[in-house]
A = this chain, B = another copy of it.
Amino acid sequence: MSELEVDAVVFDVLGTLVDEPAGIHAGISALAPALDEFEVERLLSVWQTHVEREQRRMVDGLRPYATSDVLDLEAAQLVADAVQAGDARAVAALGLTGRRLPPWPDTVAGLTRLAERFPLLALSNASRPALLELNAYAGLRWHQALSAEDARTYKPDPAVYRLAVTVSGRPPERLLMVAAHAWDLRAAQSLGLRTAYVARPVGDPPAPSDTFDLYADDLPHLVEQLDRRRK
């Protein structure tokens, strides 16, 4: 692979920059405070499985496109049904839980450092309104924040990564995609983007067969590696 030279950095958001399970976990506990930890974890899994499966079905053309807000509301309803709790208002509130996710401790400072060096883009499966709220809640600021909603599909559909390529005005090999999910990086890589895996407790770790351009323990480690290459 040629020397890594990138002109812009593209970030996955959910999981990579914010602790998505923690936010949804908090929402479920708020809906049904009597649940024990084991039960909350099980319902969190119900939520995540639903959203992932339905996004996959949309990418595969098995379900018409619907925004992440619709999927989150469906997941919230599944959780509420399971615990037999919650009127429509409580379900709606739980459905918005995905907009109040805490950043990882290194996220805000890491983005600020990278923004001084590169055009910085978000590329998220969150809907446009959800991404705005999430960015404001977690303190994530961008030169451009792109939602998969613009392509009316979800990552890993190639159309989503093409959004970033088009808006950047650059060839894909000049963009660095950063994510804590190997599946996300593989899809970006297949379109020619360069890739950086960042380890997070909630991610999808690389397989031995993956060959990403960079592997980082956290954002400071990523910044350090990029700085070293620019000298």
Contacts and interface: CB of A to CB of B under 8 A. Distances in A.
Contacts of A119: 132-133, 135-136
Interface in A111-157: 115-116, 118-121, 128-129, 131-133, 135-136, 139-145, 150
Number of copies: 2
Nearest to A117: B136
A190 interface: no
Contact of A144 (B116, B120, B132, B167): B132
Interface residues of A, number: 26
A120 B135 CA distance: 9
A168 B132 CA distance: 7
A113 to B, nearest CB: 12
A132 B118 CA distance: 11
Contacts of A141: 115, 120, 141-143
Contacts of A139: 115-116
Contact of A169 (B8, B133, B167): B133
A120 B145 CA distance: 12
A166 interface: yes
Given A128-B167, A129-B167, A143 B143 contact: no
A214 to B, nearest CB: 21
A121 B136 CA distance: 10
Contacts of A132: 8, 119, 121, 143-144, 167-169
Interface of A: 8, 115-116, 118-121, 128-129, 131-133, 135-136, 139-145, 150, 166-169
12 contacts: A119-B133, A121-B132, A129-B166, A129-B167, A129-B169, A132-B143, A132-B144, A141-B143, A142-B143, A142-B144, A143-B145, A144-B145
